[in-house]
Amino acid sequence: MAAANGAGDPVRRHLVLDERRLNDVELKHDRVRVLLQESGADALLLQDPVNIAWFTAGADPSRFGVESCQTSVFITEDARLFATNSVDSALLFEREAFGLGFQLKQREWFQPHRELVDDLCRGRRVLSDSDHAPKRQAARLLADLRLPLTPLEVDRLRRLSRVVTHAVEVSAANARPGMTEAAIAGEIAHRLVKRTVNPVRIQVAADGRLARFRHWAFGEEPVERFATISCIARRWGLHAAVTRTVCLGHVPDELWQAYQKLALVHGTALYFTRNTLMLQDVWKRVQRIYEKFGLPCEWLQSDQADVIGYRASEHRLTPDSSCALQEGVPVFWHPSVGEAATGDTLLVTARGPELLTRSARWPEMSVLVKGHGIPVPGLLRVRTSESSSEPKFKAVPAGTSASLFDATGIADDDHDDRMDSIWELDLTSERSIFEEDESAYSEESVFD
């Protein structure tokens, strides 16, 4: 363990070498060596933050509000280095990539980064994920290298999925009539950012707006009856996503009817997302469910699924998708029927699909597929003054009543490891990442 500050400094931080990260970077370097040998190249230049996060096992060299590349990663068969400036080098080597075997090539902050990169590439046959000639484009090849996920990435995606699911479900349970879509979105962002997770896309569609605008984000409109809440978030460069629907008081009959059909579609998708299958073959089974229940054109209203990973969409599902599923590939299914929508992130494993965003606190429905009961998210009802006289469970068809219940059991009190990166930890802290403040989320913390 190495100290990051001088002996006389009043504040000291301890940098911890993460052996799992180092092993993961070595594994990625092995993949790059094979790529270089097969392509006859001398080196690989990475400038896309997506690929840098992948190769470095989670480092983020990007600077908020700066679009131009200020940090590159240069890889040969024998070495890997950061090409950066004198301002960012300390952050890279003391926090983002401590102890991961990188060398450093730097210039002053006022010197063009392009000149530094050109010096590294001069006289070499270089593959690159950028469009700077004369380097050969390798973006598609790198996309293939990013999947399947490594053991470290699988572990991280499981942790991230729990945090994202928690943020969405607790925010949904705290929704009340009159809250705006933006206020709910703000609660989700608050719960994510305080745990060092970056919200990439948040959608809060109130009272059936989703039927018309499938890619609606959120607005100032108040939620009166129900809301569909969806979130994609990023940590360590990886993405996880989840979609849930909450009803405030009464559950509209048209929503419930649409949601039951949606559950059959979603359950079928989850069941058949299996190792060795082609994504287009999974889609054919899902499409038949749409047709079977009189919705042959419903899937045309919105996209249905994405292979997820270091991009929010590594590969989008289309009827002719050529993507082959394999162990270690995560998929975000997000089908919709009219104003009803749901979504889960799952991981393809040798034992079958692993549902990463399943929660013990959220109501479930069981969909029978090939004789197997597949759990899918149900509708959550938040009691209001108008619905306080109703029974706890809404009367629904036999065998599905457990798919709808009140939000009294969903509290911000789950426990899990903190999300702080292992390379800089307060080792004595036992604070849970799910610990919430006593006070309600304050709208005073946002701009008017």
Question: Which CATH class for the 151-432 domain?
Answer: alpha beta
- Is domain 2-145 given the CATH code 3.30.365.10 in the classification? no
Tell me the whole-structure pTM to 2 decimals: 0.85
Looking from the CA of 200 toward its CB, the CA atoms found within 13 Å total 18
Task: Extract the tokens encoding 345.
Answer: 């992130």
Binned at pLDDT 50, 70 and 90, residue 238 comes out as very high
8 A C-beta contact, residue 146 and residue 54? yes
Per-residue pLDDT averaged across 55-78, rounded?
Answer: 86
Tens-digit pLDDT profile for residues 290-337: 999 899 898 888 999 999 999 999 999 999 888 999 999 999 999 999
8 A C-beta contact, residue 332 and residue 311? no
Per-residue pLDDT averaged across 102-128, rounded?
Answer: 94
**Based on the number of CB atoms within 10 Å of its own CB, is 104 exposed (0-12), middle (13-18) or buried (19 or more)?**
exposed
- How many Å apart are CA 167 and CA 169, to the nearest integer? 6
At 13 the pLDDT is: 56
E strands present in 173-219: 198-206
Res. 437: pLDDT tops 70: no
Binned at pLDDT 50, 70 and 90, residue 385 comes out as low
- How many Å apart are CA 42 and CA 45, to the nearest integer? 10
All structural domains of the chain with their residue ranges: 2-145, 151-432
In this chain, the answer to whether the domains covering 2-145 and 151-432 adopt an identical fold is no
Tens-digit pLDDT profile for residues 31-54: 999 999 999 999 999 999 999 999
